[in-house]
């Protein structure tokens, strides 16, 4: 059997970890580190990433990585950055990678503090729209209409009735130099954004859409396809903001109706079912249309 | 010539911290801790202290910032009190578990509700199980000395745990006292630069804060326990070093005051001990064989010193400025755990005293001694903890 050619460089996030098949987050992390290079310290809150990468005695991380508790990754990162500064080791950069539960919800105060202080941290939120590590409970990042285990669809409910928290805007309101959204479905764009963020200093924020086959409930070979549909229907707008101004937007070639995205995922079954009240689908479509208008995604 | 000045207790702490050359300080205000971080902020603003001073948005983040900084190899410090210390609880457990050797001043203050800003020990006692070493001080001078010792204890390779110096709010933080300061060279000799064996290093990448299953978790926890219990000898050594450096001898993990031939031994922590010592002197003049055992190092608990000090005593009366609701005071429980059931050992009686700043004066101490003697003479088994000086008019 012919040998595979050796890789030119060893990945900084190697195989053997315990992520689910088709995990968008694991894919994102490998590419984030390809873009950051090895001179980084990574901080992660409790969550899927911590669980599947750190069973004691094993680690896919080839950079220093620290997990402390759930709600303090931004403050841990601030502490690491302060120490690097005090030790004149500032060529080493600090990157935090956390899920949406840690970022939108429980660590929100800590994140806001880090942003407001201007600490030199690139904070990356891997957003899969729910608490996947505990089985898919509602978070502030859960999109309108999605069923979660704590906000299921039932006779008296159609899943999440509130829209997703607009965290990139909230982060931008802190006056930080760089805010971007990305998707694992567009890895070139994702890496370009991470590289760009690494050239800047101060608090920077990238929110990456990382589809989760296990909880969104779609076949695990469709992660990228589902991610692409999310972007192309307008529910996951991809943009870049420098000093609070939008400088780059990924335009949509043609507007994909949200139903094409929703019908791939069982979490939206009650929205797209033929007998579902039409208002549900209309409400979700309205979210996409709002993004398309706000970020000028068409034309 | 020695540098002796009359300073506020908070200033003494800040000067001790400055002398330890911390890299990173995290600050969040809460009474009665705030003067400490304000004093440090002035030193940084004036360029007298080169440190990264991180003004966090909560105590949770204060503890987290020093944890991250410590993991990255920097000597780090923060301070808090009361509710703020409780907010840090989760962080402190994790940081002890990850063996991060920063120092915290735990300024003692009551816990809500009712909200109250006066002194008792409920806040730091609530953190006794975190794996953070706790030292309780009686004076501003001791607060100064113990902050120097705290960094050395925390960073000792055999220990590597956070250390909290617990000092009574207002009584110690806001009182002016005569304090003798060491010169910087002496401090530098005592406390060399922090060079941990492990830190977040890109040249030697390691994974910190792993998920551990039941097959190894108990061993991790036991390692902390062992670092504490076996660390007592290291702490004794560092205390002895402090003594040779300063000429001040506090007695190691405990201070035994006139306990040699004492029949009644009071046990207390913090500034309350000063009052007790005065009361002991008066009672001694009256011919009563009374002494005080002041616990300075509460975690790890000084069982050896306790046993040695109470040998020969009839009764041990613990003054607990905290309570485990539905049970007794924490110090009383610790003392009983080692003394009860020892043949010929003393009777231990716990008293809940001084919550929310309720005054504990020499009359209180005298009443405790009388009560303890009466209970001992009655021959009845020791009662549950008694609450001192409750107002019958408002007790439900």
Q: What is the DSSP annotation of B315-330?
A: EEEEEES---TTS--H
Which residues of B are less than 8 Å from A112 in CB distance? 57
Would an 8 Å CB–CB cutoff place B206 in contact with chain A? Answer: yes
ipTM > 0.95 for the complex: yes
Does the fold of domain B254-387 match that of domain B3-245? yes
Task: Give the per-residue pLDDT at A79.
Answer: 98
Q: Are B283 and B277 in contact (CB under 8 A)?
A: no
Radius of gyration, alpha carbons of chain B: 21
Q: Indicate the helix (H) or strand (E) that contains A279.
A: helix A278-294
Specify if A93 maps to a domain: yes
Distance of CA B274 to the CA centre of its chain: 16
Distances from the Cα of B173 to the Cαs of A57, B33, B67, B346, in angstroms? 45, 7, 25, 35
Tell which residue, B311, B268, B313, B274, has the closest CA to residue B293. B268
Query: What CATH number should be reported for the domain whose range is B3-245?
Result: 3.40.50.970
Residue A6 has pLDDT above 60, yes or no: no
Tokens of B374: 């009466």
> Considering all CA atoms of chain A, what is the largest pairwise distance in Å, rounded to the nearest integer?
63
Q: Are A176 and A116 in contact (CB under 8 A)?
A: no
Please judge whether A55 and B211 are an interchain contact, meaning their C-beta atoms are less than 8 angstroms apart.
yes
Distances from the Cα of B345 to the Cαs of A109, A151, B74, B310, B314, in angstroms? 53, 60, 47, 8, 7
Tell which A residues from 254 to 273 touch B, by Cβ distance under 8 Å.
Answer: none
Q: How confident is the model at residue A62 (pLDDT cuts 50, 70, 90)?
A: very high
- B394's CB contacts (< 8 A; 6+ apart) are none
Specify if A1 maps to a domain: no
- Tens digits of per-residue pLDDT, A214-273? 999 999 999 999 999 999 999 999 999 999 999 999 999 999 999 999 999 999 999 999
User: Which residues of chain B are modeled with pLDDT < 70?
Assistant: 1
DSSP string of A47-66? Answer: SHHHHHH-BTT---BSS-EE
Task: Give the per-residue pLDDT at B327.
Answer: 97
Q: A86: distance to nearest CA of chain B, Å?
A: 6
3-state secondary structure (DSSP) of residue B188: helix
Would an 8 Å CB–CB cutoff place A157 in contact with chain B? Answer: no
Q: Are B26 and A76 in contact (CB under 8 A)?
A: no
Q: Which of A41, A72, A86 sits opposite B202 (nearest CB)?
A: A41
Q: Which of B23, B55, B207 sits opposite A86 (nearest CB)?
A: B23
Tell which residue, B165, B1, B202, B204, has the closest CA to residue B77. B165
Q: Where are the beta strands (DSSP E) in chain A?
A: 40-44, 65-67, 93-99, 121-127, 153-154, 157-158, 178-183, 204-209, 239-242, 245-249
Tokens of B354: 């001084």
Please judge whether B211 and A78 are an interchain contact, meaning their C-beta atoms are less than 8 angstroms apart.
no
Name the packing angle between helices A73-86 and A108-117 (round to 10°). Answer: 30
Counting the structural domains of chain A, the total is 1
| Alpha helices, H only, chain B | 9-19, 34-45, 59-71, 82-87, 89-97, 122-125, 140-155, 184-190, 214-229, 231-246, 272-285, 303-310, 330-339, 362-378
Q: Are B162 and B92 in contact (CB under 8 A)?
A: yes
Q: Which of B71, B94, B210 sits opposite A69 (nearest CB)?
A: B94
Which residues of A are less than 8 Å from B61 in CB distance? 72, 74-75, 78, 109-110, 113
Task: Give the per-residue pLDDT at B333.
Answer: 97
- Tens digits of per-residue pLDDT, A159-168? 999 999 999 9
The span from the CA of B318 to the CA of B348, in Å, is: 7
Tell which residue, B362, B311, B303, has the closest CA to residue B337. B303
Which residues of A are less than 8 Å from B202 in CB distance? 38-41, 63-64, 92
Mean pLDDT on A137-149? 98
Please judge whether B211 and A76 are an interchain contact, meaning their C-beta atoms are less than 8 angstroms apart.
no
Specify if A3 maps to a domain: no
Burial of residue A1 (number of CB atoms within 10 Å: 0-12, 13-18, 19+): exposed
Q: Are B149 and B239 in contact (CB under 8 A)?
A: yes
Tell which B residues from 4 to 33 touch A, by Cβ distance under 8 Å.
Answer: 23-24, 26
Which residues of B are less than 8 Å from A86 in CB distance? 23-24, 51-52, 69, 74
Q: In which domain, by residue range, is A88 found? A: 24-294
Please judge whether B67 and A79 are an interchain contact, meaning their C-beta atoms are less than 8 angstroms apart.
yes
Specify if A105 maps to a domain: yes
pTM (whole model) above 0.95: yes
The span from the CA of A230 to the CA of B156, in Å, is: 53
- Tens digits of per-residue pLDDT, A157-203? 999 999 999 999 999 999 999 999 999 999 999 999 999 999 999 99
Which residues of B are less than 8 Å from A50 in CB distance? 209, 211
Complete edge-to-edge strand list for the sheet that includes strand B103-108: B52-55, B24-27, B76-81, B103-108, B163-168, B133-136, B297-299
> Considering all CA atoms of chain B, what is the largest pairwise distance in Å, rounded to the nearest integer?
69
Residue A275 has pLDDT above 90, yes or no: yes
Task: Give the per-residue pLDDT at A299.
Answer: 77
For A76, the closest chain B residue by CA position comes to B68
Q: B271: distance to nearest CA of chain A, Å?
A: 33
User: Percent of chain A at pLDDT above 70?
Assistant: 97
Please judge whether B56 and A87 are an interchain contact, meaning their C-beta atoms are less than 8 angstroms apart.
no
Burial of residue B255 (number of CB atoms within 10 Å: 0-12, 13-18, 19+): buried
Give me the total of CB pairs closer than 8 Å, taking one residue from chain A and one from chain B: 158
Q: B95: distance to nearest CA of chain A, Å?
A: 8
- B100's CB contacts (< 8 A; 6+ apart) are B66, B67, B70, B71, B160, B162
> Can you give the residue ranges of every domain in chain B?
3-245, 254-387
**Cα dihedral A69/A74/A80/A82 (nearest 10):** -140
Query: What CATH number should be reported for the domain whose range is B254-387?
Result: 3.40.50.920
Specify if A17 maps to a domain: no
Q: Are B124 and B162 in contact (CB under 8 A)?
A: no
Partners of A125 in the β-ladder: A98, A207
The span from the CA of B379 to the CA of B93, in Å, is: 43
Task: Give the per-residue pLDDT at B342.
Answer: 81
Q: What is the CATH number of the domain that holds A132?
A: 3.40.50.970
Please judge whether A82 and B24 are an interchain contact, meaning their C-beta atoms are less than 8 angstroms apart.
yes
Distances from the Cα of A189 to the Cαs of A172, B68, B155, B219, B256, in angstroms? 20, 31, 45, 45, 69
Task: Give the per-residue pLDDT at A7.
Answer: 53
Tokens of A208: 């990456």
Q: Are B227 and B158 in contact (CB under 8 A)?
A: yes
Would an 8 Å CB–CB cutoff place A171 in contact with chain B? Answer: no
């Amino acid at each position: 059997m012919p040998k595979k050619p050796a890789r030119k460089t060893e990945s900084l996030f190697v195989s053997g970890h315990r992520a689910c098949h088709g995990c968008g987050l694991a894919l994102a992390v490998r590419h984030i580190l390809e873009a950051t290079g090895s001179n980084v310290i990574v901080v992660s809150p409790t969550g899927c990433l911590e669980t599947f990468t750190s069973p004691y005695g094993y680690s896919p991380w080839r950079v220093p990585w620290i997990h402390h508790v759930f709600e303090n990754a931004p403050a841990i990162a601030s502490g690491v950055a302060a120490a690097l500064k005090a030790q004149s080791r500032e060529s080493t950069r600090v990157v935090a990678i956390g899920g949406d539960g840690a970022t939108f919800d429980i660590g929100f105060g800590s994140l806001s503090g880090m942003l407001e202080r201007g600490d030199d941290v690139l904070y990356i939120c891997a957003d899969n729209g729910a608490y996947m590590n505990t089985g898919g409970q509602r978070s502030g990042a859960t999109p309108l209409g999605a069923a979660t285990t704590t906000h299921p669809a039932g006779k008296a409910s159609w899943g999440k009735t509130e829209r997703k928290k607009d965290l990139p805007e909230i982060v931008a309101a802190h006056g930080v130099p760089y805010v971007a959204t990305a998707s694992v479905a567009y890895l070139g764009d994702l890496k370009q954004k991470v590289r760009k963020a690494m050239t800047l200093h101060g608090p920077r924020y990238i929110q990456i859409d990382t589809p989760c086959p296990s909880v969104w409930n779609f076949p695990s070979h469709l992660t990228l396809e589902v991610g692409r549909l999310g972007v192309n229907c307008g529910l996951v707008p991809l943009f870049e903001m420098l000093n609070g101004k939008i400088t780059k937007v990924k335009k949509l070639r043609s507007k994909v109706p949200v139903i094409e995205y929703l019908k791939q995922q069982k979490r939206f079954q009650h929205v797209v079912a033929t007998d579902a009240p039409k208002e549900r689908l209309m409400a979700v479509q309205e979210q996409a249309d709002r993004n398309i208008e706000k970020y000028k995604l068409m034309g | 010539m020695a540098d002796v000045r009359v300073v506020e207790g908070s200033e003494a702490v800040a000067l001790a911290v400055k002398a330890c050359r911390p890299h990173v300080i995290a600050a969040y205000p809460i009474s009665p801790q705030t003067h400490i971080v304000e004093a440090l902020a002035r030193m940084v603003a004036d360029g007298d202290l080169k440190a990264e001073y991180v003004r966090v948005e909560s105590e949770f983040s204060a503890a987290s910032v020093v944890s991250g900084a410590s993991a990255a190899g920097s000597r780090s410090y923060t301070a808090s009190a009361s509710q703020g210390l409780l907010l840090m609880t989760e962080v402190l457990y994790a940081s002890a578990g990850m063996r991060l050797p920063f120092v915290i001043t735990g300024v003692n203050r009551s816990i809500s509700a009712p909200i109250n800003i006066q002194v008792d020990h409920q806040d730091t006692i609530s953190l006794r199980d975190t794996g953070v070493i706790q030292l309780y001080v009686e004076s501003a001078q001791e607060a100064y000395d113990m902050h120097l010792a705290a960094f050395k204890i925390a960073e000792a390779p055999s220990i590597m745990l956070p250390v909290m110096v617990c000092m009574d709010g207002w009584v110690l933080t806001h009182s002016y006292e005569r304090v003798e300061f060491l010169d910087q060279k002496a401090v530098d000799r005592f406390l060399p630069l922090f060079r941990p064996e492990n830190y977040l290093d890109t040249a030697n990448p390691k994974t910190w804060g792993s998920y551990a299953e039941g097959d190894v978790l108990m061993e991790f926890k036991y390692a902390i326990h062992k670092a504490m219990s076996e660390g007592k000898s290291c702490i004794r050594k560092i205390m002895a070093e402090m003594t040779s450096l300063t000429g001040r001898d506090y007695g190691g993990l405990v201070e035994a005051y006139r306990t040699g031939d004492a029949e009644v031994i009071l046990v207390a922590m913090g500034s309350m001990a000063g009052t007790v010592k005065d009361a002991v002197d008066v009672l001694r003049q009256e011919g009563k064989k009374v002494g005080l055992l002041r616990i300075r190092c509460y975690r790890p608990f000084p069982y050896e010193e306790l046993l040695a000090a109470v040998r020969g005593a009839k009764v041990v009366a613990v003054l607990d400025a905290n309570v485990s609701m539905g049970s007794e005071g924490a110090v009383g429980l610790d003392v009983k755990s080692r003394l009860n059931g020892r043949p010929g050992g003393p009777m231990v009686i716990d008293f809940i005293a001084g919550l929310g700043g309720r005054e504990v004066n020499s009359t209180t101490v005298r009443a405790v001694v009388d009560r303890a003697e009466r209970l001992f003479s009655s021959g009845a088994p020791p009662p549950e903890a008694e609450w001192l000086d409750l107002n019958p008019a408002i007790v439900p």
